[in-house]
């Protein structure tokens, strides 16, 4: 993926916090900021939802067997 340079100005406290958090995570400040933006724009959330959907497809028969329509009335009655 092509990279674009983006220059931002932040106060010293914010810059220090970004450097410290990036160091704690073993990554560059650039990578840390990239990940924050991705999280904020929902990319991580979409990845999670896609993985969950794949998991459900893979184990659909197991869930149907355990929680199938015949058990629906039983669950409803517990509310």
In the 8-state DSSP scheme, what is residue 27? S
- Tens digits of per-residue pLDDT, 18-32? 999 999 999 999 999
**Could you give the maximum distance between any two Cα atoms of the chain, in Å?**
62
Q: How confident is the model at residue 79 (pLDDT cuts 50, 70, 90)?
A: very low
Please report, for the chain, how many H helices and E strands are present, in that order: 5, 0
Model confidence, pTM: 0.52
């Amino acid at each position: 993926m092509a990279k674009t340079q983006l220059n931002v100005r932040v106060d010293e406290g914010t810059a220090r916090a970004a450097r410290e958090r990036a160091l704690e995570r073993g990554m560059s400040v650039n990578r840390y900021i990239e990940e924050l933006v991705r999280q904020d724009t929902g990319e991580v959330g979409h990845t999670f939802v896609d993985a969950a959907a794949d998991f459900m497809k893979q184990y659909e028969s197991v869930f149907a067997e355990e929680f199938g329509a015949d058990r629906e009335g039983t669950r409803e009655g517990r509310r």
